Amino acid sequence: MPAPEATATMLSPPQSAEAVPDCVDALLQAAVSARASDLHLVPLQDGLDLSWRRDGVLNPLGRWTTPLATNIIARLKVLAGLLTYRVDLPQEGRLRLPWATVELRLSTFPTLHGEKAVVRLFVGSGQYRQLEDLNFPADVYVELQRLLAETSGLILIAGPAGSGKTTTAYACLRELLRTHAGTKSLVSLEDPIEAELPGVAQSQVHRPTEFTYPLGLRSLLRQDPDVILVGEIRDRETAETTFQACLTGHLVLTTFHAGSTAEAISRLADLGIEPYLLRAGLLGLVCQRLLRRLCDCATWIEDPVVRQEWGVERSRVPGRCPSCWQTGYHGRLLLAELLLTRAPTVTQAILRRMNAWDLQAAATASGMIPLIERGRSAIAAGSTSAAEVHRVLGARHRSFNRDPEGSARHVGGIGAERSPPGRG
């Protein structure tokens, strides 16, 4: 596979309006071949700035100084069935290309020099993996399978954007399809539907109309479902309706933007979900992150700074080779923490409306292995680098494992000063 610089060179800007369609196809095919998750086209005063995101990191491809830059974005809009004459409003649509092996979705947004376009590349409908293919830690995988065997309650998958929440949710549905073989009614309410799951009755909400998450959920409850996937909890009304569903004899899966399992509970409380509902409805919360996995060109070193900060004797640092596009990383690595809300210490923390800091302490005391400890184990195993763990998790996660009075406390060999407590 060529390096990004070579790819940018090969992808020449169109020299005529007639060449724009072929240029757009070449650009999209290159993004698919490079396993990019997003393709960014940012308009400039004299052209177009191109970049794509691989393994969670945005990589510049180059700048096309051409008067035909607007034609490129217009061509993308045509492929997505958008209104080419409306350049003053954001638009979204799906690119339908006969050769595409992945789902391609276009989002446009007006800027100073024209429309910015971002093409998101989703794994194709037939390529979604089973739960065991996601490489969850063994303890998380076993507990998640146990939770999926329940007949009611809420399983919440948390994490920031791009952390693989939807992939995990789809894998859970595939697990239910496999284990129950059509004996359960599985439905979903999504925005948007990212891939087709045969055996699941999938519906897509339409935000500009009255078909919203709360309305769709209330209607789905009258459709005699066994399992409901709610694409995402975004507001109080959706959260309340989701908890009503999980407390009335349905197993509900949903995703939520939160930095940790403790922050997810804290944010749900901020949305107005009462502690007794959280305690009664929540079965478990998974919070996950995707880190870049070190390429085979990485080398082992003994770094005193890494030893002091992470408690590992040796660690690997990225190298450079053509296989990893000279980045030192190839592929992704999943970190995950699982909070089981039925643990007594966690139950009491929820009922007492403790903040995210104290919830995290209670969860860790109940046996949850936090993300930061998963990261430390990944560094020790040589799967990723200390710099990558710090880039993805940051310093804030490390402070979650400190003593509440401010003194350093080691959890899994990690300790440092604590920042002030507060709600997540």
3-state secondary structure of 155: strand
Give the CATH architecture of domain 4-122.
2-Layer Sandwich (3.30)
Dump pLDDT digits (tens) for 41-79.
999 988 899 999 998 899 999 899 878 888 999 999 999
Query: Is residue 311 classed as helix, strand or coil in its secondary structure?
Result: coil
Residue 250: band (very low, low, confident or very high) from pLDDT cuts 50, 70, 90: very high
User: 295 — phi, psi (to 5°)?
Assistant: -75, 165
Return the percentage of the chain with pLDDT > 70, whole number.
89
Q: Tell me where in the chain the CATH 3.30.450.90 domain(s) lie.
A: 4-122
DSSP β-bridge partners for residue 50:
41, 62
For residue 336, the model assigns a pLDDT of: 97
Q: How far is CA 119 from the centre of its chain?
A: 16
pLDDT digits (tens, 9 = 90+) for 265-288: 999 999 999 999 999 999 999 999
Quote the CA–CA distance of 313 and 311 in Å, as a whole number: 7
Give residue 66's pLDDT: 77
**Mean pLDDT for all residues in the chain:** 87
The answer on pLDDT for 409 being more than 70 is no
Quick check: 424 pLDDT over 50?
no
> Which segment of 19-28, 203-212, 380-389 scores lowest on mean pLDDT?
203-212
pLDDT of residue 277: 93
pLDDT at 421 over 80: no
Q: How high is the pLDDT of residue 405?
A: 43
Q: How confident is the model at residue 9 (pLDDT cuts 50, 70, 90)?
A: very low
- pLDDT on residue 10: 52
Query: pLDDT (tens digit, 9 = 90+) per residue, 129-145?
Result: 789 999 999 999 999 99
Closest CA to 248 of 151, 139, 176, 313: 151
CB-based contacts of 317, cutoff 8 Å, min separation 6:
298, 299, 301, 303, 328, 385, 387
Beta strands 153-158 and 251-256, pairing class:
parallel
Ordered alpha helix ranges (H), 11-137 = 20-33, 69-79
pLDDT of 42: 96
> What average pLDDT score do residues 13-32 get?
90
CATH no. of 258-424: 3.40.50.300
pLDDT, position 208:
64
The CATH 3.40.50.300 portion of the chain extends over 258-424
Confidence of residue 94 (pLDDT cuts 50, 70, 90): confident
Q: What is the pLDDT of residues 144-201, one digit of tens each?
A: 999 999 999 999 999 998 899 999 999 999 999 999 878 999 999 998 888 888 899 9
Q: Which residue has the tokens 């990212």?
A: 194
Which pLDDT band holds residue 361 (cuts at 50, 70, 90)? Answer: very high
pLDDT digits (tens, 9 = 90+) for 219-239: 998 999 999 999 999 999 999
d(CA 111, CA 130): 40
* SS3 state of residue 241: helix
- Is residue 417 pLDDT above 60, yes or no? no
| pTM, rounded to two decimals | 0.83
Phi, psi dihedral angles at 52 (to 5 degrees): -140, 160
